[in-house]
Amino acid sequence: MVKLEHGMSYSYYMLLYTACYNYCISSNKQHEISGYGSVPVGSSGTVKAGAHLMGSDLYNKLSDYLKTHLARLRTESENLSDLALLQFYTKEWKRYTTGANYVNRLFAYLNRHWVKREKDEGRKGIYTVYTLSLVQWKEHFFLGMVKDNNNRLITALLKQIESHRNGEQVDGGMIKSIVDSMVSLGLEDEQHHGGKDNKTHIEVYREHFQKPFLTATENYYKAESEGFLAENNISDYLRLAEKRLDEEENRVNLYMHSQTKQPLLQRAENALVTSHLARMQEEFGPLLDADRQEDLARMWKLLNRVDGLGPLRETFQEHVTKNGLDAVSRASQGTVGADGKQENMDPKTYVTALLEVYKKNLAVVEKPFEGDTGFQAALDKACRTFINKNPAAAEANKAPELIALYVDQQLKKSNKETADESMEEALNDSMTLFKYLDHRDIFMRFYSRRLADRLLRGTSMSEEAEGSMISKLKDQCGYDYVTKLQKMLTDVSLSKELTESFNEKMANNGHDDKVDFSVIVGGSVNWPLASKAVDFQVPRELQPMLDRFKGYYNNSHSGRALTWMWLYSKNEVQLSYLKPKITLMCSTYQLAVLMLFNEEESLHFADIEARTKLSPEILKPVMTILVKSKVLLVDGDTYDINYNLKSKKVRLNINVPMKAEQKKESDEVTKAAEEDRKYIYQATIVRIMKSRKTMKHQHLINEVSQHVSKNFPPVVSMIKKTIEHLVDQDYLERADGQNDT
């Protein structure tokens, strides 16, 4: 007798193998024909029962032996339960399969010849020896255990798994061995290759273990989660649910079949997450308010498993919108006039407040929510709402105006943060807000005016910085959006060459003026400057230089008319009567007034008005700044030179815009934008109709809306009015008998 734990010697193995072989090929004994297979018939007509009958006889005797052995095991296991039963099962399964492998090798000749021939002839219920062993184990031991006495084996197995969930130590190897045995018992009858190469499926495993296991899992976690939530807060529960789901995933890797993973996690998610979805969604808002990023990350991961993020995205959008509006409101405090409208809100304060809300919530999207596209869309919608809706200003142009002014601050020489990195970061921040603007046409109007002012006054930090910002706008809105801006930069570059050429020619001609002169010549179409003619007497000190430049320019560019934009020019004049001398940076209008005091020390307002030919509307603000800067003294309508002017600086800039001018500019931009939109509607409709020829009324409205929405929110009523206007003007006509075409 061979003990399994000791194995057998090679000589004994060969002895048994040879005995089996000789038995199978024996042909000198007569046996009754069994029910397995047909009996070969020789050429003489006599029956050759030998090898064929020997094979079936040996196969049947082995099958009967296995049945007897398994019946004994059933008897031994009847009084066992729980852990003792599992240990018995594991021990006997290992012993049984080891012995089956031995026998399978010893009966190799039977497998190769008799079993193969029987299967080739289509006989059912014939297996290789190893497979026969498993089939007998399933039918005469396993199925009896799972069907008798309330499924003793599976019940004991589930208890061990529950103990594992409760944190108790269990024998994972034993559980895996039993689970693997059930997988092994699901053999396909059609393909048997013997030994460990059997192709298996998991019907036995799924039917007898997986189904009750999944039900027990769901029941366990439903009871645990309900009890835990009744006594703990949501943060603790999120940690529990995350931990439990990770444990179940690891449990599959430890001792389950891989195909159990998906249904197991679905059942666990249903009990731990789906059953408490409403509670989690309700607690999401408070977690956002408290900025509990770890809890937010856990909640996102859990609800992402069960497609429960929709309500969370809506809550997130409302949260960001509220925070944004609150930030704008705080930034607006103290800047509201008696009429309830915005007054001079600081652009940097405004932009900083918006960016703080945006960046804080973007970090939430990128980290706890792992860049979830749904939450990113919610953030975008919220930002578009609070950036375009300023509760402290009734005008729609406030956000575009303030962002444009913020960029203006960053691109000026006076900006203290002159490092390239900080300026580039500031420009990128402004573009972050720009992409959410609805009224981009209004932004462009303000921005182009500020750019023109920087270029004309020479306050721009650098051409490279201006070009960088224009490039960013082009990337966002396309080439057409920035065409005029680029041409303004080109005009400035060409004007530098023009000034150098002019000054060189004047020097060669012997003109040695005491005036340093430079000029910017820009196309009136590209520059957003008011070109209204102003009655103004140019100071006689400047007139010769202006006449010579006009003649020089007309000789080089025939057919062009020069219009001097006095409002935007700048001058430097030295107050030589002071010690130390002070240089004033002033406007041309201010210069014209100051030059009058070269001849007289005291002048009346009427005299100044008559000699400069400036209207009172223009002259009064000029005199106000001269008095406020203490260059002149005023007594009623009489102005005198202030010989006692004191200043710590040797250069004083008095060329600053008045608040009234800034307010006027804002109003002008709004009105101009509204007027432009009428023409944009008309041009868009005509362009579309020239391409399409014929369109339905509603389809035309939709397409026009799509085109203009890139720069401002379309107004359907305005589109309809424009269509009617173009019909009246014979640009469009209605199709005969079809008023909607």
Does position 526 have pLDDT exceeding 50, yes or no? yes
Does position 30 have pLDDT exceeding 90, yes or no? no
Looking at 418, 448, 479, which one is the last position of a domain? Answer: 479
Please identify which residue in the block is written with the tokens 């020829």: 693
The burial class, CB within 10 Å (0-12 / 13-18 / 19+), for 150 is exposed
| CA–CA dist 422, 374 (Å, integer) | 31
Please give the pLDDT value at position 37. Answer: 40
Tell me which range, 95-109, 145-159, 290-304, 529-543, is most confidently predicted by mean pLDDT: 290-304
Please give the pLDDT value at position 28. Answer: 38
| CA–CA dist 725, 719 (Å, integer) | 10
Give the predicted TM-score (pTM) of the model. 0.78
Is the bond leading into 616 cis (omega within 30 degrees of zero)? no
Question: Which structural domain, as residue segments, surrounds residue 282?
Answer: 216-295
Please give the pLDDT value at position 6. Answer: 64
Does position 38 have pLDDT exceeding 50, yes or no? no
Within 8 A by CB and 6+ apart from 171, the residues are 160
| CA–CA dist 173, 178 (Å, integer) | 9
**SS3 sequence, 137-179?**
HHHHHHHHHHHCCCCHHHHHHHHHHHHHHCCCCCCHHHHHHHH
Looking at 479, 507, 523, which one is the last position of a domain? Answer: 479
Residue 619 located in a structural domain: yes
Within 8 A by CB and 6+ apart from 531, the residues are 524, 563, 565
Q: Could you give phi then psi for residue 691, rounded to 5 degrees? A: -80, -45
Tell me which range, 46-60, 324-338, 533-547, is most confidently predicted by mean pLDDT: 533-547
Please give the pLDDT value at position 166. Answer: 94
Does position 659 have pLDDT exceeding 90, yes or no? no
Total structural domains within the chain:
5
Provide the terminal-to-terminal Cα distance of the chain, rounded to the nearest Å: 101
Please give the pLDDT value at position 236. Answer: 96
Looking at every residue in the chain, the average pLDDT score rounds to 86
Nearest to 210 by CA among 164, 262, 168, 253: 262
Does position 26 have pLDDT exceeding 90, yes or no? no
Residue 675 confidence class, pLDDT cut points 50, 70, 90: confident
Does position 299 have pLDDT exceeding 50, yes or no? yes
Helices (H) and strands (E) in the chain, counts: 30, 6
- For residues 251 and 398, state if they share a domain: no
- For residues 77 and 179, state if they share a domain: yes
User: For a pLDDT cut of 70, what percent of the chain falls above it?
Assistant: 88
Does position 29 have pLDDT exceeding 50, yes or no? no
| CA–CA dist 451, 528 (Å, integer) | 9
Residue 289 confidence class, pLDDT cut points 50, 70, 90: very high
Indicate the residue type of 204. Answer: V
Looking at 201, 227, 258, which one is the last position of a domain? Answer: 201
Does position 592 have pLDDT exceeding 80, yes or no? yes
- For residues 420 and 369, state if they share a domain: yes
Q: Are 179 and 256 in contact (CB under 8 A)?
A: yes
Please identify which residue in the block is written with the tokens 């397409």: 703
- For residues 417 and 465, state if they share a domain: yes
Please give the pLDDT value at position 192. Answer: 43
| CA–CA dist 270, 28 (Å, integer) | 69
Residue 514 located in a structural domain: no
Residue 248 located in a structural domain: yes
Tokens of 95: 């012993």
| CA–CA dist 543, 176 (Å, integer) | 103
Q: Are 138 and 204 in contact (CB under 8 A)?
A: yes
Within 8 A by CB and 6+ apart from 555, the residues are none
Over residues 324-334, the mean pLDDT reads: 84
171-186 confidence digits (pLDDT tens): 999 999 999 999 998 8
Does position 200 have pLDDT exceeding 60, yes or no? no
| CA–CA dist 534, 55 (Å, integer) | 123
Residue 454 maps to which CATH number?
Answer: 1.20.1310.10
The SS3 assignment for 652 reads: strand
- For residues 152 and 248, state if they share a domain: no
542-565 confidence digits (pLDDT tens): 888 899 999 899 888 877 888 888
Q: Could you give phi then psi for residue 643, rounded to 5 degrees? A: -75, -10
Please give the pLDDT value at position 72. Answer: 94
User: 210-214, 358-362, 393-397, 555-559 — which is least confidently predicted?
Assistant: 393-397
Residue 234 located in a structural domain: yes
User: 197-201, 408-412, 566-570 — which is least confidently predicted?
Assistant: 197-201
Residue 306 is given by DSSP the state: T
- For residues 336 and 442, state if they share a domain: yes
Please give the pLDDT value at position 530. Answer: 72
Tell me which range, 36-45, 218-227, 552-561, 568-577, is most confidently predicted by mean pLDDT: 218-227
Residue 663 confidence class, pLDDT cut points 50, 70, 90: low
Please give the pLDDT value at position 390. Answer: 62
- For residues 24 and 58, state if they share a domain: yes
Indicate the residue type of 175. Answer: I
**Helix orientation angle between 82-106 and 152-165, rounded to the nearest 10 degrees:** 120
Please identify which residue in the block is written with the tokens 């090898």: 51
The SS3 assignment for 359 reads: helix
Residue 244 located in a structural domain: yes
Please give the pLDDT value at position 523. Answer: 87
Nearest to 590 by CA among 558, 612, 617, 565: 612
Residue 674 maps to which CATH number?
Answer: 1.10.10.10
User: 406-410, 459-463, 589-593 — which is least confidently predicted?
Assistant: 459-463
Residue 548 located in a structural domain: no
Residue 735 located in a structural domain: no
Q: Which residues on adjacent β-strands are paired with residue 652?
A: 584
- For residues 440 and 468, state if they share a domain: yes
Largest Cα span, the chain: 154
Residue 360 located in a structural domain: yes
Please give the pLDDT value at position 676. Answer: 81
Q: Which residues on adjacent β-strands are paired with residue 633?
A: 640
| Higher-confidence position of 215 and 333 | 215
| CA–CA dist 103, 119 (Å, integer) | 20
- For residues 272 and 312, state if they share a domain: no
| Pairing of β 602-604 and β 638-641 | antiparallel
| CA–CA dist 634, 605 (Å, integer) | 10
DSSP H helical segments within 333-419, as ranges? Answer: 347-366, 373-388, 398-411
- For residues 177 and 94, state if they share a domain: yes
| Pairing of β 651-653 and β 582-586 | parallel
Apex CA 677: angle with CA 676 and CA 682, to 5°? 100
Does position 34 have pLDDT exceeding 60, yes or no? no
| CA–CA dist 445, 581 (Å, integer) | 40
Indicate the residue type of 500. Answer: E
Please give the pLDDT value at position 615. Answer: 92
The SS3 assignment for 436 reads: coil
- For residues 335 and 382, state if they share a domain: yes
- For residues 240 and 155, state if they share a domain: no
| Pairing of β 602-604 and β 582-586 | unpaired
Within 8 A by CB and 6+ apart from 5, the residues are none
Q: Which residues on adjacent β-strands are paired with residue 573?
A: 584
